[in-house]
């Protein structure tokens, strides 16, 4: 039973798998009355020394990875805060440009770099709920806005809902 294997003159540490095999061999040695106690003790010492060294190496890598993960978490938080700040500033600037274009009546124009236009939002008209929605207009847990919208778009009226305006927004291309 060799704890250290020789390979081209270099000493190689056992892998964890190989160490597990060595522990199994020690267990078998303990059960064999023909194996002297000193041989079992020496084998145990060699396995433990190898295991201690291997465990220290693993622990260093694990601690390093924990530190890296913690630093990455902090960087993610920092970048999320920065992203929110940039997004808020962008929305503010776009709102100011929109307001200025509406105030001057200049809702569509081009520059050498961009085209600017205030356009109606696309998609389905929003449903504005103005009262208690009867149970026949509910889907599990919430109003069935798709069904309500289709009913209202067909020219029907409902006392608890109206179709809202799609609104408009600034497009920059």
Q: What is the pLDDT of residues 100-132, one digit of tens each?
A: 999 999 999 999 999 999 999 988 889 999 889
What pTM was estimated for this model as a whole? 0.55
> Of 104, 112, 146, 113, whose CA–CA distance to 127 is shortest?
146
Beta bridge mates, 119: 169
pLDDT in the model for residue 13:
66
Q: How far apart are CA 19 and CA 47, in angstroms?
A: 7
In this structure, are residues 172 and 109 in contact, taking their beta carbons and an 8 Å threshold?
A: no
pLDDT tens digits for 54-80?
Answer: 788 788 889 999 999 999 999 999 999
pLDDT in the model for residue 108:
97
In this structure, are residues 94 and 114 in contact, taking their beta carbons and an 8 Å threshold?
A: no
- Grade residue 11 by pLDDT with cuts at 50, 70 and 90: low
pLDDT in the model for residue 20:
76
Q: How far apart are CA 170 and CA 115, in angstroms?
A: 10
Region of 9 please: left (phi>0), alpha (psi -120 to 50) or beta.
left
């Amino acid at each position: 039973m060799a704890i250290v294997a020789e390979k081209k003159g270099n000493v190689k540490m056992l892998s964890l798998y190989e160490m597990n095999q060595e522990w199994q061999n020690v267990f078998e040695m303990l059960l064999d009355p023909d194996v002297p106690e000193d041989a079992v003790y020496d084998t145990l010492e060699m396995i433990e020394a190898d295991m201690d060294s291997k465990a220290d190496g693993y622990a260093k890598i694990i601690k390093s990875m924990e530190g890296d993960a913690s630093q990455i978490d902090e960087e993610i938080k920092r970048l999320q805060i920065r992203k929110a700040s940039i997004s808020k500033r962008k929305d503010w600037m776009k709102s100011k440009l929109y307001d200025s274009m509406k105030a001057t009546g200049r809702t569509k124009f081009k520059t050498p770099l961009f085209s600017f236009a205030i356009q109606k939002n696309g998609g389905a008209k929003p449903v504005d709920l103005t009262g208690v929605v009867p149970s026949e207009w509910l889907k599990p847990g919430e109003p069935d806005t798709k069904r309500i919208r289709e009913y209202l778009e067909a020219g029907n009226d409902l006392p608890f809902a109206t179709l809202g305006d799609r609104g408009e927004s600034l497009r920059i291309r």
